Structure 1
Amino acid sequence: MPNRSIHAETLRAAGAVAAARLVGFDGAQATVAGQKVLGPAQYAAADGELVAVDAIGTSMVEAGAAIAVGDDLIADAQGRAVPAAGGAGEYVFADALQAATGAGQRIEAILRR
């Protein structure tokens, strides 16, 4: 499935950001499981570089575990998407449109706002 970003925010990267990994509103790649994120980075960026982060629409995101179609997705501590466990404080940022059999695969997800 193709990426269908409707809106992306351009931020200055606060530290290195990997492509398809989740980025917070501060421009830093997610480092806390379940943290609130803006969305996935469209491409990699070094500290201080500009990076486009998908905020509305669909986007490609790197999986951090096996994911089923329809799973609620949250960030893991490496900025990858993983299924929500339903714990307190988890911020669900998207729903999986594709499945992943394990970490490192890229899948399309529909972003929530």
Structure 2
Amino acid sequence: MPILTLSLVADGEVKKHRFVDHDGEQVDTAGAKALGVSRTDADDGGDLAVDVLGTTVVEAGGSFDKGAALKSDADGKAVDSVSDEDFVLAEALEESGGDGEFVEVLLVRYQKPEFTE
């Protein structure tokens, strides 16, 4: 259940349930920062609803476990975050069996700290 949904103007085509950046563009760089997840499809210049706080549904780009820290892939889909430089955008509230599944997530935003010994 989203707590806060913002209205943006889409910058390019955006598919629903994908990570979106602060400019209203579907995230197209793996591990990049994002504002939230699109609730609707939108054409360039169209109205776009973006969930930014609370829980939402996102399209998975691969399999991951419940509780996994998730980042965006190059298509704006949620994938398991494994790099220290990733921006973690959500935590999985249910597991994903693979690409194209829709899963509920808790929206969070932080960059993984670099691990040092």
Please, what TM-score do these two structures have when normalized by structure 2? Answer: 0.91
Q: Which amino acid aligns with 2:38?
A: A
Q: Distance in 1 between matches of 2:107 and 2:29?
A: 19
Structure 1 match to 2:100: 104
1:95 and 2:110 are equivalent in the alignment: no
The reply to whether residue 12 of structure 1 matches residue 12 of structure 2 is: no
User: Residue in 1 aligned with 2:50?
Assistant: 53
1:9 is paired with a residue whose SS is strand
- Look up the match of 1:86: 83
- Which amino acid letter does the alignment assign opposite residue 100 of structure 1? S
Equivalences, count = 109
Aligned to 2:37: 40
Structure 1 residue runs of 5 or longer lacking an equivalent are none
Give a deviation string over 1:37-75, Cα, whole Å, max 9, x none: 011100100000010100000000000000110000000
TM-score when scaled to structure 1? 0.94
Which amino acid is 1:93 matched to?
L
5 Å matches for 1:62-81? 62-81=59-78
Secondary structure, aligned partner of 1:37: coil
- The structure where strand makes up a greater share of residues is 2
State the identity as a percent.
39
Instruction: Name the Cα RMSD after superposition.
Output: 0.8
What letter is aligned with 1:102? G
| Per-residue deviation, 1:86 | 2.6
